[in-house]
Amino acid sequence: MGPCRRLSPATCWAGSQPAGAVSEIIEIGLTVIDLDAGKRLARHRILVRPVRSTVSEFCTELTSLTQQEVDQGISFTEACRLLATEHCAGTRPWVSWGDYDRHQFTRQCRATRTPYPFGRHHTNAKAVFTEAYELRKRPGMAQALEVAGLRLEGRHHRGEDDAWNIAALVLHLSERGAWRAALEHPA
């Protein structure tokens, strides 16, 4: 078993970010998969309360998350502790669509002096998908679902739903034999 997690929403703006504001994680989505069984086992959502920025109107339009909703979340440090203790994120391999999530976690952990919750084994599912389908350009998650003949479940740009959909893509790649090959011979 291994988690397929996707950060997805972070505070964002239609134009340039406001002075003093920093893009911060506001939701963490996590889906646990069993590659051998070819199943998605569980899905989780952690709302995270930003401290150096607010949820813009653009961010709400994109994600449907509001400032009022994320104000009910937990601190980023607490969210990382939950990932480490309840979800064993440090010992399980983890996946994201692209490298944004990994970089955002690294930056935010450094800025908040929070221990990084994940282990070293990260796989960029977008890169694996692009190689498996011999595409010239790396597709977004929604486009990859179309290419794979899968439907988008839930709302795009919501952490929990994105993690669920990325897990479906990982299982699809596994069925094609591309996932384990990518793990055995990382780029």
| Total number of domains constituting the chain | 1
The CATH number of residue 172's host domain is 3.30.420.10
User: CB-based burial of residue 32 (10 Å sphere; 0-12 exposed, 13-18 middle, 19+ buried)?
Assistant: buried
The band of 2, judged by pLDDT with boundaries at 50, 70 and 90, is low
pTM here is 0.92
pLDDT tens digits, one per residue of 11-36? 999 999 899 999 999 999 999 999 99
From CA 67, how far away is CA 54, in angstroms rounded?
7
Which of the pair, 146 or 3, is modelled with greater confidence?
A: 146
Domain that holds residue 153: 2-184
What is the helix (H) or strand (E) element at residue 146, kind and residue range? helix 141-148
Residues above pLDDT 90, as percent of the chain: 86
What's the mean pLDDT when you consider all of the chain?
92
Which of the pair, 42 or 7, is modelled with greater confidence?
A: 42
